[in-house]
Chains A and B, each alone.
Chain A
């Protein structure tokens, strides 16, 4: 794999901010730490007397995993402070020379959640078409004449193939009730 770093050029301004930016990976440590605490709390507050069978109960492995998370969070923090950096993943369509485009990511996540909410009231064909069109729009496609048609076609074909040919039921919604 090719190695490339995604270090965002330090912002003009306070040194503290650029330090935080360069060490943003410490956020991963914080998340691992939080996850470890969560797993340990859940394991230690477990009420196991009724269910214990054999010398190792349902608590043991979560305790080990939780402790492991705490340990790795600490080790990763040491690594980051010593200058270690995780290499961002490369790929065919990935251009790491520019900073991350958060707007697109948030838009995509929003479109996805919206489609998830709509799938039951509107049915899969409509929600799926909206998901495809919305995602394509978020990714920069602006062909108002072509995009909705492709979205609707893809969604309808997928619905028919899964629901009628492959035997995987998907909700049709009011539209399919009419057709």
Chain B
């Protein structure tokens, strides 16, 4: 009940005219940027960070929530109408959505996606309201060793669950950890990797790392391999759904969140796995199996709803534990740090206005998203025709604005370019970008928790495993690490049998 009262207070915050305006701007900007080909939600959020610098934290995060959901929806529009998704979560949307668009049912595909997002986001956010305060309460007592264990889990999960190569994931993580080391040691003030430079003593701002890796790296990478003729988007009218379509999809919309939400909350790559699971589930349950692969509407509705709910799940671990499970959450965590706010169990006690205003604005944002996106879909579809030189020049332009706005220093732009070139190299050689970003953001924090834990235990390593919680987390880590070996053993024993 307490959560409900807080939520009502949150609506009081979110529904003031100014905050309503920020939410609407966030949803519109997020969708517009997310629709642009080549821009996924993480880059959209990173590029739009500077827009919020001048706002108070509450306004900024309300706008952010809108950008997040808007960018996710925008991404699925791109994959339905273009069929060449740039980010993995939108791959599933293209599998049935694009055949639908090709056979003239693009309007229905977009409507199924939009309503799927709405339904998934609503159910997901309700679960967030129900669960987050409890998780935060449970987590209030956890100490330095537990935090350290969670962060190690995040590092291991992000390198071994995602991507095809663990070595390359680890390499990326270590690059991120190295970037995070630059600057003054938080506990002693010792200079590390600064090479005597005053500018580096402040450390490299995480926003610059995120914008560099996501935006500059991507723009340079695409520039090196720019398609001579960009893919033609399929024209589309105003989205709508007939009665038959609604009858086929409403169950998919409601099933999606229960697959998406739990996967969003754990560090397993956000929407990628749940959208696929939802796709498989819907296919198995479908009464129209012959349509699959040729444009089955359930294959759009279910995964989109799962994706949207996974975003809400992501927020649970981000807000209550300070644990980013996706690239977007990592950038959002960076934004929190900009305001000197540390997400974690105490956030709900210390900043109730902010947290509940943010959660309430998720509901507001979802309604706005549905109300704006159904009529505006033809406009979004036009954005897909943007000439590519303008698109990527624009990305570089806004990346420069963002990096310069952080501190008004030219050196930041040079660092941005260098990190962008690192991002370019990582894309060329298949090093995933997310572990590096997680490393930069969580690295310094993990080090602090480690040192605090060892300080308490007076240097004894047992101080890291003296709580049941930490032991459980380490057990999960061992399981994750041993998983490929176990899988091999299982396959071998089956083959032998």
B-binding residues in A (CB < 8 A): 1, 6, 25, 28, 31-32, 35, 38-39, 42-43, 46, 48, 51-58, 60-62, 65, 68-69, 72-73, 75-76, 79, 84-96, 98, 100-102, 104-105, 108-109, 111-113, 115-117, 119-120, 124, 128, 131-133, 135-141, 150, 154-155, 158, 162, 166-171
Contacts and interface: CB of A to CB of B under 8 A. Distances in A.
B226 A101 contact: yes
Given A57-B188, A86-B431, A162-B50, A69 B165 contact: no
A39 B171 contact: no
Contacts of B54: 162, 166-168
Given A61-B450, A135-B393, A89 B221 contact: yes
Nearest to B433: A89
Interface string B93-112: 00000000000000000000
Contacts of A51: 185, 188-190
Interface stretch (B128-136, B300-308, B406-414, B474-482): B406-414
Q: Is the interface of B mostly helix, strand, loop or mixed?
A: helix
A51 B388 CA distance: 53
Contacts of B390: 136, 141, 150
Given A61-B447, A68-B174, A86 B401 contact: no
Contacts of A79: 165, 167
A62 B226 contact: no
A93 B230 CA distance: 6
Given A53-B188, A119-B413, A32 B387 contact: no
Nearest to A68: B174
A5 B223 CA distance: 18
Interface of B: 37-38, 50-51, 53-55, 78, 82, 84-86, 88, 91, 164-165, 167-168, 170-171, 174-175, 177-178, 181, 185, 187-190, 192-193, 216, 218-228, 230-231, 387-394, 396-398, 400-401, 404-405, 408, 410, 413-414, 417, 421, 424-425, 427-431, 447, 450-452, 454-455, 458-459
Contacts of B221: 89, 91, 94
List 7 tightest A-B contacts by C-beta distance, closest first. A86-B430, A167-B54, A55-B459, A135-B393, A141-B389, A51-B188, A54-B455
B192 A86 contact: no
Nearest to A120: B410
A28 B37 CA distance: 29
Contact of B459 (A53, A56, A65, A96): A56
Contacts of B405: 162, 168, 170
